[in-house]
Structure 1
Amino acid sequence: MGSVVISLDAELGWGFHDLESLPGRRVEAGRRGWSTMLELFETYEIPATWAVVGHLMLESCDGRHADHPAPDEWFERERTTWRDREDLRFCPDLVTDLLESDVDHEFASHSFSHVLFDRPETDAEIAAAELERSVEIAADWGLSIDSFVYPRNGVGHRDVLAEYGVRAYRGRSPTGDGVWGLLDSTIRDRSMLVAPTIDEYGLVDVPASLFLFGFEGPARTVAESIWRDPMVVQVRRGIDEAVRRDGVFHMWLHPNNLVGKQDDRRMRAILEYLDRRRSETDLRVETMNRVAQRTVDGNATTASDANGGVISVSQPAPASRSND
């Protein structure tokens, strides 16, 4: 049975706060895109994995985070130019909308403050602080964290994720997230299906297949004027391949990618096609956590078969923290 996964990096201002030059339209589009995606998911009754930056769930803070081991300048924009932009720093209202949705979405983590886990300056102490705060804030809301999406897809410190009870993470796309990866996949007719695997820490890597906004700007405008939205074409191809080959197709986006009606139309077309194919076939739409559970269960079944009916799944040996 084929499977489609949709994951979202829900970050508002935190996805940009460390950048010198800000993409203004996207910075301002986060709230709009969040609400639009919730409405679209409800229209088509499609569940997704929402990876939320933990800081957004706070009601307020002083912007200093003195007990956080990150360099002091990490929170500088929060204290200075964004001091009066609470709409970029907090959104308990949007998180409440997510949790109260009629659709059974998965609440996941996108770290506490969008620290980049693959950078040399992000040591184990900083990674642990990001996980610890995310877990604590989630618990205050009565939630747990099973899945994790790395900020800017920078995989690192997987052992820290395991220590804090995370079960799955989104690994990098085999074809890349940008326009060249999209073109290469199209020209070579390469598969966009991914194979979830269990790593040495017992975590399930649910790799990305396709970033839904990797073909933008003038190239997108020209393509749509003479043909169709190339991203919608690629998504349909990926969904059909998942049906045909009983594989996993995992697409992702940020709510702030929806900066206008053109982007809304793309997402509506994608979800409409996914809903239709689901009704026509045995295709299932799953969250990352559900895929991870199936992967673990399948691994246990394989071990059972190989051992004459006795399940014997070895647990990963403890490992010291490292930057991946």
Structure 2
Amino acid sequence: MGSVVCSLDAELGWGFHDLEPLPAERVEAGRRGWSVMLDLFEEFEIPATWAVVGHLMLEDCDGVHDDHPAPEGWFDRERTDWWDRPDLRFGRDLVDDLLQSDVDHEFASHSFSHVLFGAPSTDRELAVAELERSLDLADQWGQHVDSFIYPRNDVGHRDVLAEFGLSAYRGTSPTYDGVRGLFDSTVRDQPMLVEPTVDEYGLVNVPASMFLFGFEGPARTVAESIWQDPMVLQAKRGIDEAVQNDGLFHMWLHPNNLTHPRDDRRMRAILEYLAQRRAETDLRVETIADVARRVHAPQGVDGGTVAADGGTMGDD
């Protein structure tokens, strides 16, 4: 049975607070994109893994975070340029919208303040603090966290994830984004499916197959003027591969990627096609945690998965 996973890095300003210059259009698009994606997921009844930056769950803060072992200057922008922009620093209203959704989304962690876990400056103490604060805040909101999505996909300190009882993370993609990815998948006929694996810490690595906004700018405009949206075509192909080969296709994005109505149309076309293929076939739409549970599920003597009642769920 094929499977499709959609994951989102939900971060508002925290995805950019350490960058200079700021990508202003995307910074301002975070709230809009969050709401659009929630609406689209509800319309097509698609569950997704939402990895939320923990700071968004705070009601307020001093912008100093003296008790947090972050690198010097890490919270400077929060105290200066963004001191009067709580809409970029906090997102309790958006988190509440997510939790109130009729769709059973997975609530995952994207760290506390978008620290890069694979960076040399991120020692174990900082990784522990980032994860612990994020999980504590999620617990205050009544959310148990199983999965972690690394900020900027910079994988590191996996032992810390295991120590805190997480079960899975989104690993780096074995495929290419942008023009190279489009060429490989369409011209070279390279597969877009990924294989979840269990690492040495017992965590399930659910790699990404495709970043849904990896082909932008003038090249996208030209392509759309003479053809169809290349990312929609590529996503449809990945979905079809999952159906045909009983494999896993994992697509991801940030809500802040939706900066214009044409981005909304891209996501609508992809999710509409996913819902259509799910209705026509035995395709599953899963979250990262769903995949991890399936990978870790005990096997019966005939190779079928042992059901909760002790029976065996083999292929019919």
Same fold by TM-score greater than 0.5: yes
Alignment of 1:246-257 (within 5 A): 246-257=246-257
- Deviation of the 1:178 alpha carbon: 3.8
2:73 alignment partner, SS class? helix
- Deviation of the 1:186 alpha carbon: 2.6
Aligned mates of 1:186, 1:88 — CA distance in 2 = 38
Q: Which amino acid aligns with 2:26?
A: R
How many aligned residue pairs are there? 304
The answer as to whether partners of 2:5 and 2:250 remain within 8 angstroms in 1 is yes
1:301 aligned partner: 299
Aligned mates of 1:90, 1:207 — CA distance in 2 = 29
2:23 aligned partner: 23
Aligned mates of 1:111, 1:62 — CA distance in 2 = 19
Stretches of structure 1 that go unaligned for 5 or more consecutive residues are 310-324
Aligned mates of 1:252, 1:177 — CA distance in 2 = 11
2:171 aligned partner: 171
Aligned mates of 1:64, 1:202 — CA distance in 2 = 36
The answer as to whether partners of 2:53 and 2:109 remain within 8 angstroms in 1 is yes
Alignment of 1:222-301 (within 5 A): 222-297=222-297, 300-301=298-299
2:59 aligned partner: 59
Q: Which amino acid aligns with 2:128?
A: A
Matched, 1:102 2:102: yes
2:312 aligned partner: none
1:12 aligned partner: 12
2:112 alignment partner, SS class? coil
Q: Which amino acid aligns with 1:8?
A: L
Aligned mates of 2:275, 2:283 — CA distance in 1 = 9
Per the normalisation by structure 1, the TM-score is: 0.92
Aligned mates of 2:287, 2:8 — CA distance in 1 = 11
2:155 alignment partner, SS class? coil
CA offsets per residue over residues 265-320 of structure 1, 9 Å max, x none? 000000110011111001010000001100111xx318x669xx9xxxxxxxxxxx
Alignment RMSD: 1.3
- Deviation of the 1:142 alpha carbon: 1.0
- Deviation of the 1:60 alpha carbon: 0.5
Runs of 4+ in 1 over 6 A off after TM superposition: none
1:127 to 1:178, Cα distance in 2 relative to 1, 3 A: farther
2:114 aligned partner: 114
Aligned mates of 1:186, 1:173 — CA distance in 2 = 17
1:188 alignment partner, SS class? coil
- Deviation of the 1:188 alpha carbon: 1.4
1:88 aligned partner: 88
Aligned mates of 1:199, 1:187 — CA distance in 2 = 33
- Deviation of the 1:72 alpha carbon: 2.9
Stretches of structure 2 that go unaligned for 5 or more consecutive residues are 307-316
Matched, 1:37 2:28: no
- Deviation of the 1:144 alpha carbon: 1.3
The answer as to whether partners of 1:64 and 1:72 remain within 8 angstroms in 2 is no
1:204 aligned partner: 204
Per the normalisation by structure 2, the TM-score is: 0.94
2:274 alignment partner, SS class? helix
Aligned mates of 1:8, 1:179 — CA distance in 2 = 22
1:313 aligned partner: none
Q: Which amino acid aligns with 1:88?
A: L
1:74 alignment partner, SS class? coil
Aligned mates of 2:118, 2:148 — CA distance in 1 = 14
Q: Which amino acid aligns with 2:28?
A: E
CA offsets per residue over residues 45-81 of structure 1, 9 Å max, x none? 1000000000000011001110111123000100110
1:318 aligned partner: none
Aligned mates of 1:253, 1:182 — CA distance in 2 = 17
CA offsets per residue over residues 163-214 of structure 1, 9 Å max, x none? 1111100001101334323323332111100000000101000000000000
Aligned mates of 1:281, 1:140 — CA distance in 2 = 39
2:299 alignment partner, SS class? helix
The answer as to whether partners of 1:192 and 1:209 remain within 8 angstroms in 2 is yes
